[in-house]
Amino acid sequence: MTVRSALLAFTLLVTTCFGFGQSVDRYTVIPRPAQLEPRAGEFIINNTTRLVIPVEQAELRAIADTFAHQLNRATNLNIQVRNSNPTPGGTTPQTGNVIQFSPSQDTSLGEEGYQLDVTNQLISIEARHPKGFFYAVQTLYQLLPPTVLGVGQGAKGRGTTSNTPSPQALSPLPLALTIPACRIQDRPRYVYRGMHLDVSRHFFPVAFIKKYIDLMALHKFNNFHWHLTDDQGWRIEIKKYPKLTQVGAQRRETLVGHYDEYDPQVFDGKPYSGFYTQDDIREVVRYAAAKYINVVPEIEMPGHALAALAAYPELGCNGRSDGASPYQVATKWGVFDDVFCPYDKTFQFLEDVLTEVMALFPSKYIHIGGDECPKSTWRKSDFAQQLMRQQNLKDENALQSYFINRIDKFVNAKGRRIIGWDEILEGNSSTIRLSPDATVMSWRGIKGGIEAARQRHDVIMTPGQYCYFDQYQGDPAQEPMAFGGQLPIAMVYSYNPTPTELSPTEATHILGAQGNIWTEYLAEPAEVEYMAWPRAAALAEVLWTPLAQKNYTDFSRRLPAHFARLTALNVNFARTFYDVTPSAKPIPNGKLTVTLSADALAPDIRYTVDGSVPSSESPRYERPFMLDQSTTVRAATFSNGQPLSQLAKIQREFIVSSATGKAYKLLSAPTTGRPDRNYSLTDGTTGSMGGYELANVVSFANDINVIIDLGKPQPVSSVRVGFVKYTARNLCLPKQVEILVSDDGQTFRPVLSIKTNAAEGGKRGIVRLPFDFAQTTARYVQVIALNVGQVPAGLRNPGKPAQMAVDEIEVK
């Protein structure tokens, strides 16, 4: 199939698939407008189209010029921007093929609201502020065919079905450039609609930051939280302190995999560096401002400071008198004990840094971190303890409050306001309190946000359960590396940032919410995009659309067209929305019944049972099917013969053996953390791990002792057990495995006893250990796995109590 025909099929898919109704086909705007009245007809953009703006409106001229430029570069048309002739009553009404910008006096629109009236001959945009006109244009982009967002695609359109840019020139695709008639009255639900990006763990170039901002603008976000400093790197040039980038922007190597992926940990041995010059910062700030996005810089304190301390060790409690640094830029992830020491020189340093930061960022908000600050170095510091006595501080939490309060006062004196993570509330007292202007960013659930709102602080909600986009969005065993946890797009969409526990007055302090992208495991721009989109689109609708208008089914129906937009923009978005979930259930005859399900509306699921990649010619899933032998099931969703899900991704190994579906007795109790659920050791479903999570496994604090009833006497000669090797979490292989068999379930005879390597470390995983023996006849099979007792020497946690975990037991 040619690229052109593939694109044609994909475009037809997003406009016709699943039998959507006409209104859904025509109005696929995300976030959904507050009010949208469908109309018959359409406005056709052609060479006669004019954009008309009021005279002497420089901001509107910039918005209209940018819109015309994008239309022209995408279509090869020559649309012009013209000034209207003013009349005593306002702007002269236009006739013909016109897109008219008309300032409004309607106060109900606020700064960001707009009205959009589309007929066959005229598009009228009304707003009180340039922001409103800008957001109206973003809506027009989404009412146009998706390929209009691309570059040089021609009036007939060009694009790519790939999630990644294609270097080749593509054949033109016939496509009418039309906007469906409608009337829209729109304004946002929340004033703060944010996306965050951590550039400290991994650095991203200015070009990508701009693309990130472009996507935010299309989705009507208005705040970009730029996390610029942390333990793993200082990424902003500070003229007064050059070593912050000479030393603090570089680490000697980086951890490979998750924190507990290997035992011992493995590092890549490659120096890593990168920072933004002050000119880079100014360029990004200017670029974002043109899209009505405020850039909120974050300078972490008093914790997450290792990169700064490596550059200026005298600012830490462990500084050496000879000037040598006891610190180094962190090469792995986590929370570190070394934090800023509360010397006067530390505050002078931070004030100098913030002074330069505030000169670069016009934002009224300056984020000062305040999270995850261990107190151990302060407890050991003579200076810190003396300061606590002088200031009558009862404990180290109060010392942190003192620290934040000093910075808060300094920032306020400069006419700005601080934002801090919800820990900045800790340690407040009658004598030391945050200023009323301090804004709290609630990330550890919603409790901090509720407490802050009740204390009359403004709040930005960003709880990890809904807003941390570094979590897995699909099956962790199938997804690219992520931090851990599960956050599917439906969960993001379900979020309501205003806690129901708040009174109406308290709720006014909820400014909005923010999606966070932490980059410990995201080293490339494409990886960031995969984690952000389309979950950020769901959050955009949460923050913009009135609560009563939110509807996940309706949002789901708009997503395919939105995916086409992201494709035109060369965004590496995740397609987990289309993922298939295979599941199996044992049936009495010892076989497995496999069910394939997907969240997408009416998907065409194709599957294979031989491990091959599914195609549009593979069997179509109509009903559950049976497996009579162990195999790997792979599945994908299709429409019009084109794949929707990522073909190589969805696969699940199922095991069929004489033990499948058979009952068993556990003579040793599982742990409460990973209990046995409905005979899960013989259910045919293998275990998996992703992030820090284990699925479909049963764990034991001591030995494993299980007796399986095969139902009738039969030949047996092999047992295989899937043991979890996750020694960084104290899950070890057994030191010895014994296999016994019985005819009556009472008297057992041993058939095998073999020592195994409980000290084996390395990469974590599920190790299927085979235990083969001379064939015998038996009805009952007993498996005893002996726990090594303590984690062996040479592993991460030697001497700690060892555990074991098992996923599936096979008998053949």
Q: What are 483-500's pLDDT values in tens digits?
A: 989 999 999 999 999 999
Contact 483, 499 (CB under 8 A): no
Return the DSSP state at 482: -
Going by C-alpha positions, the residue among 280, 228, 266 that lies closest to residue 249 is 228
What per-residue confidence (pLDDT) applies to 49? 93
Predicted confidence (pLDDT) per residue in 273-305, tens digit: 999 999 999 999 999 999 999 999 999 999 999
CA 534: distance to chain centroid? 9
- pLDDT surpasses 50 at 11: no
**Catalytic position from the list 129, 219, 225, 304:** 304
| Catalytic member of 314, 372, 599, 743 | 372
Tell how strand 748-755 and strand 736-742 pair up. Answer: antiparallel
CA 452 – CA 441 distance, rounded (Å): 9
Query: Quick one: how many helices (H) and strands (E) in the chain?
Result: 19, 39
User: In this predicted model, what pLDDT tens digit does every residue of 719-741 receive, in sequence order?
Assistant: 999 999 999 999 999 999 999 99
Identity of residue 786: L
The mean pLDDT value for 756-761 works out to 96
- The answer to whether the CB of 302 falls within 8 A of the CB of 378 is no
The pTM (predicted TM-score) of the whole model is 0.92
Strands (E), 322-383: 365-369
Over residues 215-266, the pLDDT tens digits come to 999 999 999 999 999 999 999 999 999 999 999 999 999 999 999 999 999 9
Helices (H), 533-630: 535-544, 552-568
**Amino acid type, 497:** P
Q: Does pLDDT of 17 surpass 70?
A: no
Largest CA distance in the chain: 104
pLDDT tens by residue, 786-807: 999 999 999 999 999 999 999 9
DSSP string, 155-193: TT----SSSS---S---------EEEEEEEEE--S-SEE
Structure tokens at 502: 């708040």
CB count in 10 Å sphere of residue 745: 13
Residue 250 phi, psi dihedral angles, 5° rounding: -130, 135
Q: What pLDDT does residue 84 have? A: 84
Give residue for tokens 């300032």. 103
Residues 6 or more apart from 270 whose CB is under 8 A from it? Answer: 253, 254
32 closest CA partner among 178, 246, 203, 189: 189
With tokens 């400093």, the residue in question is 229
Worst-scoring range by mean pLDDT, 349-358, 430-439, 614-623, 767-776? 430-439
pLDDT-based confidence at 56, cuts 50/70/90?
Answer: confident
117 is catalytic: no
CA-to-CA distance for 384 and 369, rounded, in angstroms?
Answer: 20
DSSP letter, residue 538: H
Q: What count of Cα atoms within 13 Å lies in the side-chain half-sphere of residue 447?
A: 5
Tokens of 141: 């982009």
Closest CA to 726 of 261, 332, 334, 333: 261
One-letter amino acid identity for 14? V
SS3 content of the chain, % helix, strand, coil (to 5): 25, 30, 45
Q: Which residues contact 668 (CB under 8 A, 6 or more apart)?
A: 700, 702, 703, 704, 705, 706
**Cα torsion angle, 605, 610, 615, 617, sign:** negative
Measured distance CA(371)–CA(424) in Å, rounded? 7
Distance CA 692, CA 486 (A): 11
pLDDT tier for residue 162 given thresholds of 50, 70 and 90 = very low
Active site residue 219: no
Contact 143, 107 (CB under 8 A): no
- Quick check: is 509 catalytic? no
Indicate whether 319 pLDDT > 70. no
Check if the beta carbon of residue 44 is closer than 8 Å to that of residue 199.
no
Residues 176, 158: Cα–Cα separation, whole Å: 12
- CB contact set of 598 (below 8 Å; sequence gap of 6+): 578, 579, 580, 581, 605, 637, 645
Task: Tell me the C-alpha distance between 49 and 325, whole Å.
Answer: 65
How far apart CA 756 and CA 774 sit, in angstroms, is 19
Report how far residue 379's alpha carbon sits from residue 748's, in angstroms, rounded to the nearest whole number: 59
